[in-house]
Structure 1
Amino acid sequence: MSTPRFLDLPPGVAPQKIETPQGTFAVLEALPVSGVIERWPALLVPGLTGSKEDFLAVLMTLAHSGRRVIAVDLRGQYETPGPDDPAAYTCPALGADVDALAQIIGGGDPVHLVGHSFGGLVAREAVIDGRTRFASFTLMGSGPSGIEGKRAVNGRKIMEEVQEFGLEHVWHHRLEPEALSNDVSDEILAFLRKRLLTNSPTALACMAEQVLSMHDRTDELRQVEVPTLVLYGEHDDGWPPEAQSEMAARLGAESVVVPGAVHSPAVEAPETTAAALVRFWNAAEKHYLDTKSNAM
């Protein structure tokens, strides 16, 4: 479970709503303090029990690189409403939402796409389907197929308990004890409770099923030939670090191991994570412009 380092929005970050043909999405938008946008924008997609707030600690550092940076609540997550139809929460359906968001955010320019954990599986669908031109793609703490280890056990229990007992039960018996064991502040505890209970129960159960059962699409992703970064914590307990390293090798992608981080590098090591993203994004843009120039 990700826990934002702080809930007060830093200067330059504001809540917004983005209208798309797929619906309206709640986002946090970060802009350069100068107000001058010099580089291509970025879209950040959170994980299963997360939300846009999981990226709070990196938003302004990323925006300072001259970009508009958007962190989103997926359909059915926290402040983005969703229907009771389970079909709305498959990875392909959520990937179509990411496509729609990227096309609006980019306004004709390519967009850097980052997916954390389950968000990586969703974002991967958008890259593979080919409907949107992405400047780059980062898998952050996300693996080639269904999640493994302790988090797979937790995901299965969350899915079953949401379906049988509801969100209050999941909070009191699973997520609240975990938060208390991590000694989070009262403010963050209140936020985590509000966030969970605002989720669509249908969405949470269906997303949990997806993160457990997703099949390996690494070979398909490689064929897209979008610049790809695999970034993960040194002690990731979702997908094992060795599985993510192997995935990066199969993709021919760069990999970055974040020292000391577990499953949420943007929370646990924000400066290291942001620096790695900015460097990768700058390199991807330079490669694109060099390639375009050579083709002329």
Structure 2
Amino acid sequence: MSTPRFLDLPPGVRARRIRTPVGAFAALEALPVRGVPERWPALLVPGFTGSKEDFIAILETLATAGRRVVAIDMRGQYETPGPEDPAAYTCAALGEDIDVLAAVVGDGEPVHLVGHSFGGLVTREAVIGGATKPASYTLMSSGPAGITGSREKAARVLLSELPEFGLEYLWSHRLEPEAIVAGIPDDILDFLRRRLFANSPIGLTTMATEVLDAPDRVDDLSEVDVATLVLYGEHDDGWPPSAQAEMASRLRAECFVVPGALHSPAVEAPETTAHALTRFWNQAEQRLLQAG
């Protein structure tokens, strides 16, 4: 039996485009392999320099629980085009896109909303704004304000070098050597290169500024009545685990630490992450149905 490649889609998962009043968004949609979706759907939003593929490893397991799960590329990311306008890539502007996507994906039903890393800063804008009323909200490996540590340094390097030297320089002098040293397999390396060059350079620089300079909006988010989960890796090298635990406390949110994982639990510990999300989503649905 051959070993599945990174981008081989699991059973029940297909690539599609989600058409909305503000444009079409590239997506991976997962449906139960057997039966039909009986639970409320979920919308997964990736981080800075990320894409829908960051969720591939958890999609089948999430859908098996009986729901439709949609992972997207945000505007300007990988296979979703974006304009040459920096204003389109702020957290506020991208959050408005999430409002519209949640309405389309939900089609009248509440949506379980998940934001990974920078995607957490974006999705919280949608939740705080009030137009999106999710069934639940998960901050995955995200933090209260601008990113810190080694990932802060990487974002500052991108911000300083991309406008002057371009994507080819950034890839060949920074990202590719780091990936090779980390032992990234060739098929994933090829994908990372394709994804980087498909991103909007203007989007990348604006998002880098946003992830570095994001204000602390935890108090604003705590005013929203929504079941919230803060989920992160035990060894997260983005926002420190201690900062995410403190954020969970301020939000009066459930907190789940994924053992052994770093900044991408959906990649590094997919089964643990998928089961934690499914349990949280099921409990949130039960509470809402009982209250309603």
TM interval, shorter chain, is: over 0.9
Equivalent residue, structure 1, for 2:184: 184
Preserved contact between residue 48 and residue 207 of structure 1 (Cα < 8 Å)? yes
SS at match of 1:231: strand
State the match for 1:44 in structure 2. 44
Instruction: Tell me, yes or no, if structure 1 residue 211 matches structure 2 residue 175.
Output: no
Measured in 1, the distance between the counterparts of 2:112 and 2:46 equals: 14
Q: Which residue of 1 aligns with 2:109?
A: 109
Counterpart amino acid of 1:81?
A: P
1:17-96, aligned counterparts within 5 Å? Answer: 17-96=17-96
- SS in structure 2 of the partner of residue 224 of structure 1: coil
Structure 1: distance between partners of 2:5 and 2:280: 24
Distance 2:236 2:5 in 1: 19
Matches within 5 A, 1:77-226: 77-226=77-226
- Tell me the equivalent position of 2:264: 264
| Superimposed CA distance per residue, residues 181-235 of structure 1 (whole angstroms, 9 cap, x where no aligned partner) | 1212111111100000000000001000000000000011010111000000001
Stretches of structure 1 lacking an aligned partner (at least 5 in a row):
none
If the length of structure 2 is used for normalisation, what is the TM-score? 0.97
Contact 2:95 2:125 in 1 (8 A): yes
User: Aligned residues, how many?
Assistant: 289
2:5 touches 2:187 (CA, 8 Å); kept in 1?
Answer: no
Q: Secondary structure at the match of 1:289?
A: helix
| Deviations 1:222-261, CA, capped at 9 Å, x for gaps | 1011100000000111100000000000000000001100
Segment of structure 1 superposing worse, 167-176 or 210-219: 167-176
SS of the residue corresponding to residue 99 of structure 2 reads: helix
**Greater Cα shift, 120-129 or 171-180:** 171-180
Take 2:35 and 2:79, find their aligned partners in 1: how far apart are those partners?
26
Distance in structure 1 (CA, Å) of the matches to 2:146 and 2:247: 13
Give me the identity figure in percent.
Answer: 67
Runs of 4+ in 1 over 4 A off after TM superposition: none
Q: What per-residue deviation string (whole Å, max 9, x for no partner) do you get for residues 117-153 of structure 1?
A: 0000001111111112200000000000000011101
| Amino acid of the structure 2 residue aligned with 1:22 | V
Q: CA deviation at 1:5?
A: 7.7
Whole-angstrom CA distance in 1 between matches of 2:184 and 2:88: 33
1:5–1:267 contact (8 Å) kept in structure 2: no
SS at match of 1:282: helix
**The residue matched to 2:87 in structure 1 has which SS?**
helix
